[in-house]
Amino acid sequence: MAEAVSETPSAEPGTAEPSRDEVRHEEPRQEADGRGAGRGRLLTALVVLSVTLVVSVLAGIALGPTVVPPADVVHFLWAALTGGGIGADEVTGYSIVWHVRTPRVLLAAVVGAGLAVVGVAIQALVRNALADPFVLGISSGASVGATAVVVFGVFASLGVYALSAAAFLGALGATLLVYLAARGPLGLTPLRLVLTGVALAYGFQALMSVLVFLSPNGQAARTVLFWLLGSLGAASWESLPLVTAAVLVAIVVLLRQSRSLDVLALGDETAASLGVDADALRRGLFLLTAAVTGLIVAVSGAIAFVGLVLPHVVRILVGSTHRRVLAVTPLAGACFMVWVDLVARTAFAPEELPLGVITALIGVPVFITLMRRRGYLFGGR
Amino acid sequence: MVLSLRDLSVEAAGRALVDRLNIDVEAGRIVGLVGPNGSGKSTALRCVYRALRPTSGAVLLDGTDQASLKLRDSARSIAALTQESRTEVDFTVEELVALGRAPHARGNHPLTARERALCRESMERLDVAHLADRSVLTLSGGERQRVLVARALVQEPRVLVLDEPTNHLDVRHQVELLSFLRGSGLTVLTALHDLNLAAAACDRIAVLSAGSLVSTGDPAEVLTPELVRKVFGIDVTVVHHPRTGAPHLIYDLTAAALSALPDAPPEGRHS
């Protein structure tokens, strides 16, 4: 583990001086003592990220237009969880912590974890490094549903859930269309899936633009755009259970399939020779990712970038085997999204920035830095 | 007989890619599948490692029809080196070799100590242990092929199927790979383009042309100038290795061998 550093390489002169305490993480992988270092790295990553997540969640709850001292946050959370009492003068603080911020921060964590994990699954499914949860047209389908609500007020009877319901139905419809269109005599081949998803996404976007254009309401375009870029402003305790369950199921199912996902990456023929039915696995992955993405988009809009880049960041840190990637990615995604949401609601308070703007602003430089530093090879030399 | 192809046929779009093929491979023997491009070698092999379902006929392993087994179960007995050579994921060599345990391992359970020792041992046998922590994307063609053989060994198969394993390898690596197979004691069915390598490496040779078996037997019996002219459409002279007696084909490129043959099969010209 740490001893691996002693066989210090002479190569990679460009590997910048690692400034943080994670020095050995920056060691080029080729020179590290493979299994030992890899396992140490995985464990370190899991521990560090778990602690970071707890701290991030508490920070996310404490910080905002009104700053609640951390001690009070813990006190209120404890009171809420155990049914303990609070003083009369603490009602406002309690309400902010328990009814407004906690569900929102938890939803951010769930959405971040979900998008990142679905990103891993989709990249394995279509065997393409550039894939993200939205490459299969699911988000644009959801957008059509959401736009219909914003512009024409469909599902008005569902009240505050109209947007989520319409977005989920839109996602489901898009999924079905992509599935049927991509299905060929050879099954769901990766290339057909990507091409179909991309083509249909353009179709859905056009449809959405027409809806906005025809809108009698001038504010519609702005509302739709904001929704498209992602927001957790509508978070409530009620929005949590379903999407949380879906994300947890996805993580467990994918972890159980992690070795098959590794094999799938080697190509269909090789997969067959190693006992993995690539077509059946892809069908399962497709359905799983579509359902989870639909549920996530329904509660948070289409937050770009997380599902594309976090899997890569995690691979750079702990290697490419899916068991590791899938263990670390949810934690990384959750931490990342909690901070993104915090920035979104505090940077220009009381105005909120769309989440997609911040994910890109933070994520792009981080990703490029990591990629350049580690000689990352996903996608070839 | 360990491995038997029985009346194996594969049709696509009404055309027979492989037509009632019968090939037997005895335990510990190496059988080479040769033939022009498009003669059905790869198609037949794909049926053996089950990337393809035959239209009719069967692949038998010790008398058991592989089609009656789950993919995972047949993968415990038959390993393959396919022509699919690229992966976009930068697994380390060690990780890639460990995937050979996929048909044996349960779920995502980590490998047992015995399995890890097996991986280590296979990498040492193929002389790739020093590459264990290298990304597979940085390997040379020869290193890569050795790593894939190591992965196949880790699978602990009864039969190893190889599709053009010497493609893109320099002559040293070709010879190394085939002599490894000869010394390994594995039961091997391999497609080969190079007839001379096939003659030197294989116990038996099966010649395919347009999906059908044209000839099968000892390399010296099979690789005659007549057969090569009939199947590949070129004129050759056959000489024999001074020590092993294996047949060796030599080509006279000044004699315009191709043009002398009006009925050269079009697919055969470039092989």
Of B73, B82, B137, the CB nearest to A270: B82
- Chain B residues within 8 A of A377 when measuring between CB atoms: 90, 135, 137-138
Which residues 6+ apart lie within 8 Å of B138 measured at CB? A30, A377, A381
Average pLDDT, chain B: 90
What region does A6 belong to: left with phi over 0, alpha with psi -120 to 50, or beta?
A: alpha
**Residue B114: pLDDT over 70:** yes
Label residue B133 by pLDDT band (50, 70, 90). Answer: very high
| Integer Cα distance of A334 and A122 in angstroms | 18
Residues pairing with B123 in the sheet: none
Note whether B69 contacts A: Cβ–Cβ < 8 A.
no
pLDDT at position A191 is: 85
Mean pLDDT across B46-52: 94
pLDDT at position A28 is: 40
Structural domain boundaries enclosing B114: 3-222
Alpha carbon separation from B1 to A185, B20, B60, B192 (Å, rounded):
35, 18, 9, 22
**Residue B75: pLDDT over 90:** yes
Residues pairing with A266 in the sheet: none
What region does A137 belong to: left with phi over 0, alpha with psi -120 to 50, or beta?
A: left
Whether residue B271 lies inside any domain: the answer is no
Half-sphere exposure of B176 (CA within 13 A, CB side): 13
Are B140 and B85 contacting, i.e. CB atoms less than 8 angstroms apart? no
Mean pLDDT across B136-153: 91
Are A113 and A333 contacting, i.e. CB atoms less than 8 angstroms apart? yes
What's the pTM value of the predicted model, to 2 decimals?
Answer: 0.85
Do A275 and B73 make contact, defined as CB atoms within 8 angstroms? yes
pLDDT at position A12 is: 40
Whether residue B168 lies inside any domain: the answer is yes
User: CA of A262, closest CA in chain B: separation in Å?
Assistant: 8
Whether residue B267 lies inside any domain: the answer is no
pLDDT at position B239 is: 94
- Chain B residues within 8 A of A33 when measuring between CB atoms: 133
Whether residue B237 lies inside any domain: the answer is no
Please count the structural domains in chain B: 1
Cβ of A335: how many Cβ atoms within 10 Å? 26
Whether residue B264 lies inside any domain: the answer is no
Whether residue B141 lies inside any domain: the answer is yes
SS3 B239: strand
Note whether B263 contacts A: Cβ–Cβ < 8 A.
no
Q: Which domains does chain A have, with CATH numbers?
A: 34-87+102-374 (1.10.3470.10)
Q: Strands B64-65, B56-61: parallel, antiparallel or unpaired by DSSP?
A: antiparallel
Do A30 and B87 make contact, defined as CB atoms within 8 angstroms? no
- Chain B residues within 8 A of A378 when measuring between CB atoms: 88-90
| Integer Cα distance of A355 and A227 in angstroms | 10
A176-190 per-position pLDDT tens digit: 898 888 887 777 788
Are A228 and A301 contacting, i.e. CB atoms less than 8 angstroms apart? yes
> The tokens of A3 are what?
């001893």
B90 φ, ψ (degrees, to nearest 5):
-90, 70
Alpha carbon separation from A7 to A30, A265, A359, B37 (Å, rounded):
11, 31, 37, 49
> Angle CA(B73)–CA(B166)–CA(A376) in degrees, nearest 5?
75
In terms of CA atoms, which chain B residue is nearest residue A4?
Answer: B133
Specify the DSSP class assigned to residue A97. Answer: I
Whether residue B130 lies inside any domain: the answer is yes
The residues on A that touch B, with CB distances below 8 Å, are 29-35, 127-129, 255-260, 262-263, 265-270, 272-277, 315, 319-321, 323, 376-381
Report DSSP letters for A120-181, one per residue: HHHHHHTT-TT--TTTTSHHHHHHHHHHHHHHH-TTGGGGGGHHHHHHHHHHHHHHHHHHHH
CATH code of the domain in which B22 resides: 3.40.50.300
Whether residue B12 lies inside any domain: the answer is yes
- Chain B residues within 8 A of A31 when measuring between CB atoms: 133
Do B92 and A263 make contact, defined as CB atoms within 8 angstroms? no
pLDDT at position A31 is: 37
- Chain B residues within 8 A of A315 when measuring between CB atoms: 90
pLDDT at position A375 is: 59
Do B50 and A266 make contact, defined as CB atoms within 8 angstroms? no
A319 φ, ψ (degrees, to nearest 5):
95, 175
Mean pLDDT across B57-80: 94
Do B108 and A323 make contact, defined as CB atoms within 8 angstroms? yes
In terms of CA atoms, which chain B residue is nearest residue A379?
Answer: B88
- Chain B residues within 8 A of A327 when measuring between CB atoms: none
pLDDT at position A221 is: 77
- Chain B residues within 8 A of A376 when measuring between CB atoms: 90
Do B95 and A320 make contact, defined as CB atoms within 8 angstroms? yes
pLDDT at position B137 is: 86
Do B99 and A266 make contact, defined as CB atoms within 8 angstroms? yes
Of A34, A259, A260, the CB nearest to B94: A34
Torsion angle in degrees (nearest 10) through CA of B210, B215, B219, B225: -80
The rounded percent of chain B whose pLDDT value lies above 90 is: 77
The CA-based diameter of chain B, rounded to the nearest angstrom, is 62
Do A262 and B95 make contact, defined as CB atoms within 8 angstroms? yes
Residues of chain A with pLDDT under 50: 1-36, 379-381
Helices (H) and strands (E) in chain A, counts: 15, 0
Of A31, A259, A270, the CB nearest to B84: A270
Note whether B65 contacts A: Cβ–Cβ < 8 A.
no
- Chain B residues within 8 A of A127 when measuring between CB atoms: 88
pLDDT at position A76 is: 92
pLDDT at position A377 is: 53
| Integer Cα distance of B269 and B271 in angstroms | 6
A110-164 per-position pLDDT tens digit: 999 999 999 999 999 988 877 888 888 888 888 888 888 888 777 777 766 788 8
